[in-house]
Amino acid sequence: MTGFRIFQGVTLALVALTGAAVVFTRDPKRQVFIAGIYGALQGILYFSLHSPDVALSEIAVGSIALPALVLATLAKLEKVK
């Protein structure tokens, strides 16, 4: 049980770290990738908190769909420039 508690603590800390990293990254292109990692870590966090259902949707949406849509928008903006 203590091992699991450590796992929860580590993932919580990592989510906090990457969340801050998303905010402090200024270049949108880098930001997208860090946001994707943030989404995946959030998935692991939800898994560690006994909600695998939420973890699956978070991984699919947070680390695949959201970065893809933001990247597509960035590409469009670059084309307009």
- Which ranges in 1-81 belong to alpha helices (H)? 2-24, 28-48, 52-60, 66-80
Q: Which of residues 26-55 bind another protein (CB under 8 A)?
A: 51-53
User: Is residue 57 a contact point for another protein (CB under 8 A)?
Assistant: yes
DSSP states of 56-76: HHHHHIIIIIHHHHHHHHHHH
CA pair distance 51, 58, nearest whole angstrom? 11
User: Is residue 68 a contact point for another protein (CB under 8 A)?
Assistant: yes
User: Is residue 20 a contact point for another protein (CB under 8 A)?
Assistant: no
User: Is residue 73 a contact point for another protein (CB under 8 A)?
Assistant: yes
Q: Shortest approach of another protein to residue 30 CB, angstroms?
A: 19
User: Is residue 60 a contact point for another protein (CB under 8 A)?
Assistant: yes
